[in-house]
Amino acid sequence: MVEKESQEYQYINIIKKIIDEGHWEEGRNGRTKSIFGESMRFSLQNGKIPIITVKKTAWKTCLKELLWFIKGETDNKLLQEQGVHIWDGNSSREFIESRGLGHYSEGILGTIYGYQWRYFNACYNYITGKPIPDENNKTGIDQLQQIIDALKDPKQRTSRRLVMTAWNPCQLDEMVLPPCHILCQFNVHDGNKLSCALYQRSVDEALGSSFNIASYSFLTHLLAKHCGLEAYEFVYFSGNCHLYENHIEPMKEIFNRIPFEFPTLEITNIKENINDYQVSDFIISNYQSHDVIKMKMVV
């Protein structure tokens, strides 16, 4: 275990601040206690990856979802086939109809995260979950590939425009759930050190935050490996940071737990295409954690 200098205490301190200083609000899906405007910084150097340890984090589930995003997929059945069920609540027939999307095929989630990363603003086939080519056979803007191309080019990799957004006002009503983590920016310094900053408008601190930290850290490590760079830092900016009412008591348990050291990540292969990476290409070493804190996800 580690002492007070652990970067994980940033997360613990935000939970404590919400409980001690947060404001009660009645929201779309229940009562929350919240604060507004926080940030955390996590080192990614020497293969470190910040997977939260004061409660067990399902990092393989997180990685499977990320690789699904990277491929631009929007069909929840592809996740279910891998044993991932984090989108089930937002893809139920009842929930889809509540969003006015009753015409969608079962399991189709709309123009969410990965779709905007790879096919930004392309017309959407709500039967297949795939983009519809326009009259020029184009399928929107491939933001992720543009960033990869820039990171591989020494003349472009220090650009201050390496931004990827999931927030597309033109298509929010075509999504089962508007994106929470909405914009990330990549930055290279000293020629080869890659960092990522994420802005998230809405953070479920009990269940979502640890996933988002791991996911974008995985993404930064992956892009660094894929583009011949070194992962350096993940910076996490949060807007509305909240705990649902029924999560507050369970989350108090983390105050009695001392964080373990963060694990390390090795990506064993460099693929030609970013779509070709698989979970088996990622090796996590020395992940120790405290027990799961069982809480029900609020949709």
CATH number at residue 202: 3.30.572.10
Q: Answer yes or no: are the C-beta atoms of 274 and 66 closer than 8 Å.
A: no
- Token duo for residue 182: 């909405």
Residue 291 counted as domain residue: no
**Would residue 120 count as lying in a domain?**
yes
Per-residue pLDDT of the chain (299 residues; tens, 9 = 90+): 444 579 999 999 999 999 999 999 998 888 999 999 999 999 999 999 999 999 999 999 999 999 999 999 999 999 999 999 999 999 989 999 999 999 999 899 999 999 999 999 999 999 999 999 999 999 999 999 999 999 999 999 999 999 999 999 999 999 999 999 999 999 999 999 999 999 999 999 999 999 999 999 999 999 999 999 999 999 999 999 999 999 999 999 999 999 999 999 999 999 999 999 999 999 999 999 999 999 988 87
Distance between CA atoms of residues 213 and 53, nearest Å:
12
Answer yes or no: is 159 within a domain: yes
> Would you say residue 297 lies in a domain?
no
Q: Does 280 reside within a domain?
A: yes
Decide if 223 contacts 186 (C-beta within 8 A).
yes
Which pLDDT score is estimated for 210? 97
Distances (CA, A) of 191 to 60, 156, 188, 194, 274: 31, 11, 7, 9, 22
Question: Is 293 within the bounds of a domain?
Answer: no
What's the rounded Cα separation, in Å, for the pair 111 and 121? 8
Q: How far apart are CA 163 and CA 232, in angstroms?
A: 17
Contact (CB, 8 A) for 111 and 120: no
Query: What is the helix (H) or strand (E) element at residue 251, kind and residue range?
Result: helix 245-251
**65 near 57, Cβ under 8 Å?**
no
- Rounded to whole angstroms, how far apart are CA atoms 234 and 147? 17
Determine whether 123 is an active site residue. Answer: no
Domain tally, the chain: 1
Pick from 185, 174, 178: nearest CA to 131? 174
* Cα–Cα distance for residue pair 273/125, rounded to 1 Å: 24
Range of the domain at 80: 9-285
Which one is catalytic: 180, 196, 227, 241?
180
What's the pLDDT at 1?
43
Q: Is residue 4, in this structure, part of any structural domain at all?
A: no
Q: What is the DSSP letter of 273?
A: S
In a domain, 128, yes or no: yes
Q: Give pLDDT, residue 4.
A: 56
Q: How far apart are CA 163 and CA 160, in angstroms?
A: 8
Q: What is d(CA 119, CA 39) in angstroms, rounded to the nearest whole number?
A: 29
Contact 28, 261 (CB under 8 A): no
